Amino acid sequence: MSSETKILATASYLPERVVANEALTQFPASTLPLIAEKTGISARRYAADDECTSDLGAKAARQCLERASVSPDEVDAIVLATSSPDRIQPATATRVQQLIGARRAYAFDVNSVCSGAVFALHVADALVRSGGARRVLVVASELYSRGHLNPRDFSTCACLGDGAAAVLVGTDERGHTVVGTILHTDGSGADLIQVPAGGTMLPYARMERPQDAYFTMRGKDVQDFVLTQGTAVVNELLTAHGVDRDDVAFVVPHQANLGVLQGLAERLAIDFSKFVVTLDRYGNTAAASVLIAFDDLVTSKRAARGDLVVLVVFGGGLSWAATLIRI
């Protein structure tokens, strides 16, 4: 058995309903071409009426276990990253556990908004390295189209979609090696990306503005944060592990928008052709986006054995993180 933490399998699930930009008819027709022009997004997926966050996550989780040839009973823990849970309580991970039949696994949620998947992956890595679990299923699942999005807010509704992804983490000889992860948080920016109402700070019963029930972000401030801290954390990660940027085969970023990703590539001096981009098809799926893109890279077989891949994420909190993986 390997002493290194490995990603044994990956999977993703995108709902069947495709919502092209032209279908967002609540906005003036003259503005719809701006979506692709400004964000790079041509379509996104919306969950079916009978699907909730745990349903999406369970579908990705089942496929991941099938690809790994691991039964649900062999899973010791489930760590689910989401900022759009089924309910405020209990943890959405508990329903994923029930749906996939992982009866032996303990299960809990992680919420670092769009950074959540890498935070969850680091928790799984720590559990495996400490002996607290042999196999950990990391699931990232988001369903923003129902409740989280203000249908009249062009800046958010046009960008976000639904989806889920999963990776199975363990110590088997096979798989992709988790070399290391760096996590950061700056709570002074907690108001930049938020859903103001629904918690103890502003219960729905005390809400005076309907828009406080919806996801909001201060776009210019967020973009500055992403370019500054996204660049810094990748450089910090590469320095920590003695990796030259020219030796990075692929960068798998949170799928924010195309302009931000191009700006990040420019600041990192890494050719944009190395960036894995799925937002054109799926939009921004919050915590799920980086693992959906990583699954896309793995299943496309573009990466070769030994390739170094950087996952970099940034989101509410403010939070940002990066992971180095050897394929």
List residues with catalytic annotation: 114, 254, 284
The SS3 of residue 45 is strand
Antiparallel, parallel or unpaired: β 193-194 and 216-217: antiparallel
Phi, psi of 243 (to 5 degrees): -105, 130
Q: How many CB atoms lie within 10 A of CB 271?
A: 13
Q: Is the dihedral of CA 267, 272, 274, 280 positive or negative?
A: positive
Tokens, residue 88:
């405020």
Nearest one of 155, 154, 151, 285 to 210, comparing CA atoms: 151
Angle between helices 53-68 and 92-100 (to 10 degrees): 50
Q: What is the CA radius of gyration of the chain?
A: 19
The Cα diameter of the chain in Å comes to: 59
Phi, psi of 117 (to 5 degrees): -65, -40
Q: What is the dihedral of CA 279, 285, 256, 178, to 10 degrees?
A: -90
Nearest one of 223, 186, 168 to 39, comparing CA atoms: 223
Nearest one of 248, 297, 291 to 276, comparing CA atoms: 297
Q: How many CB atoms lie within 10 A of CB 241?
A: 13
Antiparallel, parallel or unpaired: β 248-253 and 308-315: parallel
